[in-house]
Structure 1
């Protein structure tokens, strides 16, 4: 409590006991006589030994079983992506957060073939007592991007342009929410006032979705995803495949915009830009392959996913026609 009170003196406390006169931080009042303790006080920490009744032991065992069941219902997986990070993203003119949010949407669309409502908190700390506003990251621009990215008929230039538009919209939306111009929290507050009888404490999240935490580092991205009975590991694998693919596209676009005649190889074997002298990145995948040698149009994994989606839609269409007939 001492630490908390040093930050905010008005911090409420459940502990009303006075400080012991034998503690080091106790300040004796003028004329106060503190008697010597009758015996030397034991100050070394020691393990407390508890005597538990049989019914308490049984209750603890049942509680442990129950909490284990709840833990097993949740699948938590981590991805330590080291292909690139904030440095690469900003170098190509993207907002890191918007870039990663679009990656989540593309990975999900590639896995399930649909777009779901997505929530990301935005800090409203510029306001007194401000906490968060909800960024609804799924927008028309982001939907257009994921569909364009997973379309084998789209060129990589079209995919990058769609990504830029989606990231630009996401950045603008984030700024609006941070400035208190969002409507989500306001509408949710009205909903709670109208539905006081419901016990649901928070309406933004769903047990049927994915919970994602991430840290964007200079040279990597750490992602932790959890869900109940969903393809969490496959989602992260999809995410990693997407990140490598968009990296290849951006490098390919950069190479086309910067002709190789403007580069040279120095004495150490490093390729450098003639105008700036800076090293030209040659990114290696985790499997050791040169990413620049893998610059192919389209995205094999996602193309296969789209083929399956289109096949499913075709089957539904045929079945629907046969039923109508």
Structure 2
């Protein structure tokens, strides 16, 4: 029987691929069984090439197909996946009011409760907006009621520079076998191209979250894509991967186009080495005008500068097209960062040159062989690129991809210079971009707390969620520095819904504040047993909120959506005028975790001038916190993070020592 799986699978893979799938239940039929014990009886894959011609391929129902289709079967059985949730007004009101309580004075809290009650009363404005939002959710043409609005408001209409304010970085663990940057760049490129093959073919093994399928839609924006500046909002472009089969390498601000497939064959690692070596030769020692610096500007300024660039010469349009359509970018930097902080600075922003910040994938290789990554955020969150970077390093370190030396084909085309015509007007735009970039970066402080005291291994012995535990470390550190807790954002993934991205987890709770206050009290005021109890209650509150947020039941996206439905000129409801709404959405701490044994750093910027951006990784025996702020004392916060991690460990260690031994069976 045909369960309509093709229609379900299609949004998950590139637009040039579609599927027709037939499965039958475990009682009948033939074919490879899925993990859910369904039987795939027929799989047909249709691929459209760059000229619009569609080819048909009958696939045997073997293991990889079964893995992919297991995902699809589970999608079909998971109605929550199909359309994002709209929480009830009552759910959101209760959760919102509860989140305000630890942040406000009694008088402020009473005023906020009154504004919320007025908003959600029967027949009130909130109910009318809720009806509109539900109608939007149920519109068959809308896959996700939030998707378009959020992409626009949070990213594409955002006008501040993407670096340092939006983009994020990963710092790779050293590859001691490939200190030569040419070899490191070639190995990375080979691994990335292997991952790209799976994305393009639609054979990348699906992701799951707590055994539930999560949406793979954003992977379509990983390769051959670019953000393009425009007013009032930017827009993404996607080149046909069947046609655009090249990498852009950047050295000394000079761009080079490297074909990664020649005569129907992907370049070997040795051939890529030869290409990158040639880039170093062609680039020589003299830096070119940093056209890439234009991408570091305010988006409106960059929009205007792009027009100046295009007006300067017809060949500039061709140069832009070559960069924007490239599979990905490899930045061959003339830096040699050593310490974790030096590396973090290099990958997060560098000197604003030798980059094209609008590309979603830029791999950075330095003269000393160290490497990292910077990602543009507008169409993808961190989890897909985190998976990519983890994969790249995993297959390199564990010899899962062929990096052996091989014969280099004669007659391979040299890297082609992607040359811009830089007129005085263009040069003036570049000079301004560099000045503006330097001024913005100079305002920021970055500190890395590479905490070696313990990690997930010990945290699990404490019977704690490592992520919730790290959140309490951050809360306690902030309390140590300021004597209070303030609004905190942690990203919660909502990719179990179609086109899902993130929701806010409001970390500060009555329970977390009670714990931090107890830890700050003089010795003897509160017993350690009482502090442990408060800590566990804070952990429970954190887990309850992030679980609800991941299920689409946070408060921030819902309130955002309701506000978006106000008619032009319609009076703003009191809930949005209430100072508590603005305060509780001012993220004094913006936090997120992405952990990999192959990374030694990960980070991004703060989101308000009075706040910190704290990205963290939790490994088996260590934790890493990347702390960024605008002159607030990032080094001091780093110190308090270490102290808080020590304090909580010391508080909980006796609970392990006093625990009764497990009974032997």
Give the TM-score taking structure 1 as reference length.
0.65
2:539 to 154, 161, 167: 167
Partner of 2:560: 188
**Pairwise mapping of residues 256-267 of structure 1 onto structure 2 (< 5 A)?**
257=658
2:518 to 145, 148, 154: 148
Partner of 1:103: 473
Partner of 1:241: 643
Change (3 A) 1:91 1:19: closer
* 1:13 and 2:252 matched: no
CA apart distance, 1:79: 0.9
Change (3 A) 1:196 1:79: farther
CA apart distance, 1:189: 1.8
Change (3 A) 1:74 1:196: farther
Change (3 A) 1:254 1:188: same
| Contact residue 468 and residue 539 of structure 2 kept, 8 A | yes
Give the secondary-structure state (helix, strand or coil) at the position aligned to 1:225: strand
Change (3 A) 1:46 1:241: same
* 1:120 and 2:495 matched: no
Change (3 A) 1:16 1:187: same
Partner of 2:85: none
| Contact residue 490 and residue 504 of structure 2 kept, 8 A | yes
Larger strand share, 1 or 2: 2
Between the aligned partners of 1:5 and 1:170, the Cα distance in structure 2 is 38
CA apart distance, 1:161: 1.2
CA apart distance, 1:55: 3.7
Change (3 A) 1:45 1:108: same
Between the aligned partners of 1:18 and 1:235, the Cα distance in structure 2 is 49
125-134 vs 6-15, which moves further: 6-15
RMSD: 3.5
Between the aligned partners of 1:173 and 1:18, the Cα distance in structure 2 is 45
Partner of 1:73: 443
Give the secondary-structure state (helix, strand or coil) at the position aligned to 1:80: strand
Between the aligned partners of 1:136 and 1:241, the Cα distance in structure 2 is 23
Change (3 A) 1:226 1:18: closer
| Contact residue 200 and residue 241 of structure 2 kept, 8 A | no
CA apart distance, 1:195: 8.9
Between the aligned partners of 2:429 and 2:244, the Cα distance in structure 1 is 36
2:619 to 201, 217, 229: 217
Q: Which runs of 5+ in 2 are unaligned?
A: 1-13, 15-195, 203-216, 222-236, 246-260, 266-409, 570-584, 588-606
Per-residue deviation, residues 41-77 of structure 1 (Å, max 9, x unmatched): 8711155565533343333222111101111112121
CA apart distance, 1:194: 3.7
CA apart distance, 1:207: 3.0
Give the secondary-structure state (helix, strand or coil) at the position aligned to 1:171: helix
Higher radius of gyration, 1 or 2:
1
Give the secondary-structure state (helix, strand or coil) at the position aligned to 1:119: strand
Change (3 A) 1:10 1:155: closer
Change (3 A) 1:128 1:258: closer
Instruction: Count matched residues.
Output: 244
* 1:24 and 2:263 matched: yes
Give the secondary-structure state (helix, strand or coil) at the position aligned to 2:238: coil
Between the aligned partners of 1:229 and 1:184, the Cα distance in structure 2 is 28
Between the aligned partners of 1:252 and 1:5, the Cα distance in structure 2 is 52
| Contact residue 448 and residue 626 of structure 2 kept, 8 A | yes
Per-residue deviation, residues 164-212 of structure 1 (Å, max 9, x unmatched): 1100111111111122222221101223444989xxxx97643321111
Change (3 A) 1:190 1:203: farther
Give the secondary-structure state (helix, strand or coil) at the position aligned to 1:229: coil
Between the aligned partners of 2:241 and 2:529, the Cα distance in structure 1 is 67
Partner of 1:179: 551
Q: Which runs of 5+ in 1 are unaligned?
A: 27-39, 260-272, 277-325
**Pairwise mapping of residues 244-323 of structure 1 onto structure 2 (< 5 A)?**
244-255=646-657, 257=658
Change (3 A) 1:163 1:6: same
